[in-house]
Chains A and B, each alone.
Chain A
Amino acid sequence: MLLKKRLVLFGKTKRLEAQFDEFMDRIIEASLIFERAFKGYLRDGFSEDFSIAVDEVNQIESANDDLKRKIETRLYEQTLIPDLRGDVLSLIEGLDGILNLYQANCYRISIEKPDIPQVYHRDFKALAKASTACVDSLIMASRAFFTNIEAVRDHNVKVMFYETEADKISTRLKTRIFASDLPLEHKIHLRYFSDRVEDSSNRAEDVADNLAIYTLKRSI
């Protein structure tokens, strides 16, 4: 009886571990889809492919919302990791926030269809790439938080590096935009999208900062 209960306990734990992994897989997936769709947008303008990408990100977002609720419920119902539960839930919330940013950016592009001149494409692509790399490193840091706490710091250093990269690219891009002869409203629209694409790296940095604190607390 006790053995059976214990086996069930281990089974449930394994399932929850898998759910954490799945949650993070989806964020990486969404970040890659966004980067690919954004590059496609720069190349072809608003297209069928972009609409498909928007749908995909939407689906991922809503599936991850479900998963998040399941994880939260299970953590509370079974009073798992009572000492770290608050931190883990904040982490999940932070990661979910990044996914929401991707979804919102997809919508913004679909609705506002910004006109991005060819001359800024390289910087916009570099900005999207740095932001994706930043989120990717954050996911690795988050996975390490669950299994290999010593590696969190290494991944966090990468998060900071890519965030600074994204910051530099964004500053350069905005300087160039405002130095151009474009009408002010166009400049402001481009600045707005530069900020939105950069947002995910800024958010990733915030989550990584918190993660560093959770990691300190997690040391036994």
Chain B
Amino acid sequence: MDFTVLIFLTSGLFLGWSLGANDAANVFGTAVGTRMVRFATAAVVSSIFIILGSVLSGAGAAHTLGKLGSINALAGSFMAALAAAMTVYAMTKLELPVSTSQAIVGAIIGWNLFSGSVTDANALIKILGTWVACPILAAAIAAPIYLGIQRLLSWAKLHILRRDVYTRIALILAGAFGSYSLGANNIANVMGVFVPASPFTDFKVADAFTFTGIQQLFLLGAIAIAVGVFTYSKRVMLTVGGGLMPLSPVAAWVVVISHSIVLTLFASEGLEHFLASHDLPTIPLVPVSSSQAVVGAVIGIGLLRGGRNVRWRVLGNISMGWVTTPLISAVLCFVSLFFLQNVFNQQVYTEVTYSLSPKVMDHLVESSLPAEDLTGLKNRKFNRATEFLQAIGQRTYLTGYQQKKILEFSETTDIEIRADIVDALPPDWLSAGQIEAVRKLKGRHFKFKWAVADALEQLSDEWRLYPDSIRNKAHNKQIKAKLDYIYRTFKVSR
């Protein structure tokens, strides 16, 4: 692997470290702060489960960040992660409430602005919505659990010593669950920006399963988080307990379990699939702030107790954090990208060219998009998405969905289906039919991604995307992930 790649990844590792130091403290903070669980136990359990969560379930939330903007050059990813990490570090030093999720979203928007890429408004609204929903949901989950556990304990009449033992075990289990969900949900914050520019390639472990490049990337990030847990989280853990409200160990357990449930809800692909297949509304898979989930859960319990013990000023600070954190991060990222590009001569984004070739125009017509209004732009090339959309805007009005589709169809690329690469496609991930379809395209060149998708779909039903619906979401997502893999694998690098 290229040595510079490792240098660029360091900013992600720095971000991982600060996430480990701050957010892992949320999971075990009250348990360690109240001396119910020893720090060493907390650190070991937390690290193991963060790593497991990141590698096994980390992909879900990463997808949403990817939709917000695909940082397509390693130096850009480096700066986005560094800007986010510096924001988190500075805010922590200033003792302001901070969320890694918000910092990274801000940094991605900063990169989008710098590179002239379009920020997907739908994805952004989805993310902003979950930031508000996350603490509210945590409060709504914590309150009934707290009431239930209160009733249960009153009924069980356990000796305080036995209750102490049970609480310790429950805290460790909840902490393990919390760490797993933290890893699954928040690894996207740490390594998500590196996904499109990932330097790792898939490899097989003992012919049994494929260790994907993304999993390797997430493992690296998870290890950085674990290092953060071991080196810096103790101090944070010991102070996190009394922050919002004095908590008993049992209440601390309620907080941890509610936080974990919320993070799982926002990270579980399995749950999304289950809800979708039962025609139930799904929960967006978005990296949410674990700090805010904890705060929400504490406030839920506080309100149940009459709200007297809650320090409401902290809530004000959190709401302020929703605005300031992404803003600082975005500005920092934008300014730093300028320096990185112009002073250090680094390529912080790969130029994407948009062109309305006759082929694209035909495809727009086939897809019922208003191609006739855009004839004036035929064959013109644009190097920035924002400029392209501006030119379109002068001619016609398009909805957000139409804009997204036109950008998708007119993005030019260079894909060559090379025989040697076809032979190396992973047979355990792609079906035999899918690989066969790719093989039939051997030797062909494509200028557009959609053209590859169309060609594959015509050759095999196994490449077919179903009409957009919640039920078909899981299938389509999988096909799109595989198509992305094909685009990346066969892209001709210049």
Contact = CB atoms under 8 A, between A and B. Distances in A.
Interface of A: 6, 9-10, 13, 16-17, 20, 79-84, 88, 145-150, 218-220
B35 A220 contact: no
The 9 closest A-B pairs by CB, nearest first: A82-B35, A220-B250, A81-B164, A148-B157, A13-B161, A220-B248, A17-B159, A147-B159, A147-B157
B35 A17 contact: no
B338 to A, nearest CB: 52
Nearest to A148: B157
Interface in B25-54: 34-36
Given A82-B35, A220-B153, A220-B251, A17 B162 contact: yes
B163 to A, nearest CB: 8
Given A146-B160, A147-B159, A150-B154, A83 B34 contact: yes
A39 B308 CA distance: 53
Contact of B150 (A20, A148, A220): A220
Interface string B223-250: 0000000000000000000000000111
B158 interface: yes
Contacts of A6: 169
B90 interface: no
A81 B161 contact: yes
Contacts of A10: 162, 165
Chain A binding surface, main DSSP class:
helix
A39 B160 CA distance: 38
A79 to B, nearest CB: 5
A16 B165 CA distance: 12
A83 B246 CA distance: 11
Tell which of A6, A83, A220 has the most Cβ of chain B within 10 Å.
Answer: A220
A79 B35 contact: yes
A13 B35 CA distance: 17
Given A146-B160, A220-B153, A83 B165 contact: no
Given A82-B36, A150-B154, A220-B149, A16 B249 contact: no
A154 B83 CA distance: 61
Interface in B137-172: 146, 149-150, 153-154, 157-162, 164-165, 169
B172 to A, nearest CB: 11
Contacts of B159: 13, 17, 146-147
Interface residues of B, number: 21
20 contacts: A9-B165, A13-B165, A16-B161, A17-B162, A79-B35, A80-B161, A80-B164, A82-B34, A82-B249, A83-B248, A88-B160, A145-B160, A146-B159, A146-B160, A147-B157, A150-B154, A218-B160, A219-B248, A220-B248, A220-B250
Contacts of B157: 147-148
A172 B17 CA distance: 74
Contacts of A16: 161
A131 to B, nearest CB: 28
Nearest to A145: B160
A17 B162 CA distance: 8
A17 B161 contact: yes
Contacts of A149: 154
Given A84-B160, A146-B159, A147-B159, 11 more contacts: A9-B165, A10-B165, A13-B164, A17-B161, A20-B161, A79-B35, A82-B34, A82-B36, A82-B249, A147-B158, A220-B146
Contacts of A80: 161, 164
A78 to B, nearest CB: 10
A83 B249 contact: yes
A13 B162 contact: yes
A6 B169 CA distance: 9
B80 to A, nearest CB: 42
Nearest to B38: A79
A182 B165 CA distance: 61
Nearest to B165: A13
Contacts of A150: 154
A10 B162 CA distance: 8
A80 B36 CA distance: 8
A146 B169 CA distance: 19
Interface in B84-118: none
Contacts of B249: 82-83
A172 to B, nearest CB: 41
Nearest to A85: B35
A220 B248 CA distance: 6
Which of B150, B161, B249 lies at the interface centre, i.e. has the most chain A CB atoms within 10 A of its CB?
A: B161
Contacts of A148: 157
A82 B34 CA distance: 7
Nearest to A6: B169
